[in-house]
Structure 1
């Protein structure tokens, strides 16, 4: 097994901890996202994930970046880092999305990837006037959608007749000059999400949670029937790394203290979630700082402790760690200086 890869969540949401943090207030401006991703590339990070949200999860009065226009702009400015743009299938017809993805693949020189997210934000869909069925319907819709997108990302043609979509021989051009097609990630931990990851995607993102739970999820998806190369696995995590475990524990306690100011934002978001979303049921089980499981993954401690936990998750099957921090840029730099060198040094040894 090769060594782990490390990515960062792009700051199109403005922050990934508390929007009230005194050193990291909410800031979703393009200039910040641009500078953050360029710094991540310079520091040696391998990937960045741009979440697709049309309304800020902190509340409708907060600024929120748009994932696909940001991805295209970043593709032109970066040279090495992988750019993963999330997409909810009901946001774009599959033929339009595949054409957009291939254009960003061209701009980036073969560094673009799609992250399929079937959605939890019921209020957002309603505000936009988009289809948003129950969980089983969302995944059935997403399965038709990604079937067409996969075919088109390789150049097509796509001729498909289903419940929601019909295509008639569309062949997008140009196709990728670097590989067969852009990579497809997916998220979600429900039964239909796992089945979709095993059937139709190249890699599956797991929300941050304890090692034993993550290992069980990996084994479940690995055991499912599949045509093609094995599924790769990624995990979201919020990192707090310091010189000692005690200092990290103090920093985590401080983060929890700041989070008390987020009551209105937390009340707002809790009212927007579709009731059948597995992700938020997991979050109730494992309270955390950050999004998508955050500190529940346990990457909190001394530099050696965090490096060791990364290696344990990697041994369980995690290939890509998609990381959050607060204050983001300073802690992202700290992780690169003190943890990346430890993990990569041990892999080389």
Structure 2
């Protein structure tokens, strides 16, 4: 049995424009990143009023929602970076965090940032579909391949070579997409095997929840252009940003 998904996500573009917050008419999309982790995105001993607590995150999420921001994106983090700051050592798990933020907001999209080596695709798909239903179609999945070796090894996994991480991510996201759009499917990939895959309820979003990836390398750009809806890029200048966007669009 298959659902309505029959082609490229762009086939559902009008549906997304009508129903998905990040596809609204605003030319400039605004989001908040990293509030689930201690120190956010800044490695420092400077005093701050920021706390990576549930209460503080809800306060920020409600304010962003009220101001019309489109998206909340957490950092996917399992282990601190050491040193005297223990950067990102305190953090709220991303799927749990996304559910909590969804229950405290009305319009803004809530994302989970998921490492492909640490979450089985069926489990990620089930959690994502559940959050999409809880949020009434506001869930997004930010896919990361796992670059921080101590984090991956903590799970007893081998840190794969860079290009192979993206090959694994392609296998992973194929399983996630099929779980969201099919029933009773078999998948035999290099990294993941699924027999008689089943998931219900399916996500509200069509054909499936919004996907993001921060691929900036050659392999990363290829992956993001092929597999996801948005490339979560970092730019140093407007000119370098234009060049990067043009390159990804060509792919």
* TM-score bracket for this pair, using the shorter chain length: 0.7 to 0.9
Aligned partner of 1:32 in structure 2 is 56
Q: C-alpha separation between the residues in 2 aligned to 1:211 and 1:76? A: 36
> Shift of the alpha carbon at 1:139?
1.0
> Shift of the alpha carbon at 1:204?
0.8
Aligned partner of 1:80 in structure 2 is 107
Structure-2 change in CA distance of 1:21 and 1:2 (3 Å): same
> Shift of the alpha carbon at 1:23?
3.5
Please list, as runs of the form range in 1=range in 2, the aligned pairs for 1:259-298 lying within 5 A after superposition. none
Structure-2 change in CA distance of 1:107 and 1:126 (3 Å): same
SS of the residue corresponding to residue 87 of structure 1 reads strand
Aligned residues: 223
Q: CA RMSD in A?
A: 1.9
> Shift of the alpha carbon at 1:134?
1.1
Larger relative contact order (Cα-Cα within 8 Å, sequence gap ≥ 6): 1
1:64 aligned residue (91, 94, 97): 91
Structure-2 change in CA distance of 1:123 and 1:141 (3 Å): same
CA deviation map 1:161-197 (0-9, x unaligned): 1111111221210112343211111112111111111
Contact 2:118 2:155 in 1 (8 A): no
Q: C-alpha separation between the residues in 1 aligned to 2:72 and 2:211? A: 14
Structure-2 change in CA distance of 1:177 and 1:18 (3 Å): closer
In structure 1, the gaps of 5 or more residues are: 225-349
Greater helix fraction, Structure 1 or Structure 2 = 1
> Shift of the alpha carbon at 1:220?
1.2
SS of the residue corresponding to residue 124 of structure 1 reads helix
Please list, as runs of the form range in 1=range in 2, the aligned pairs for 1:91-102 lying within 5 A after superposition. 91-102=118-129
In structure 2, the gaps of 5 or more residues are: 1-24
CA deviation map 1:288-337 (0-9, x unaligned): xxxxxxxxxxxxxxxxxxxxxxxxxxxxxxxxxxxxxxxxxxxxxxxxxx
Q: C-alpha separation between the residues in 1 aligned to 2:111 and 2:88? A: 26
Q: C-alpha separation between the residues in 2 aligned to 1:179 and 1:102? A: 11
Given the two structures, how large is their TM-score scaled by the length of structure 2? Answer: 0.82
Q: C-alpha separation between the residues in 1 aligned to 2:34 and 2:105? A: 13
Aligned partner of 1:9 in structure 2 is 33
> Shift of the alpha carbon at 1:157?
4.1
Given the two structures, how large is their TM-score scaled by the length of structure 1? Answer: 0.60
Aligned partner of 1:55 in structure 2 is 79
Contact 1:5 1:46 in 2 (8 A): yes
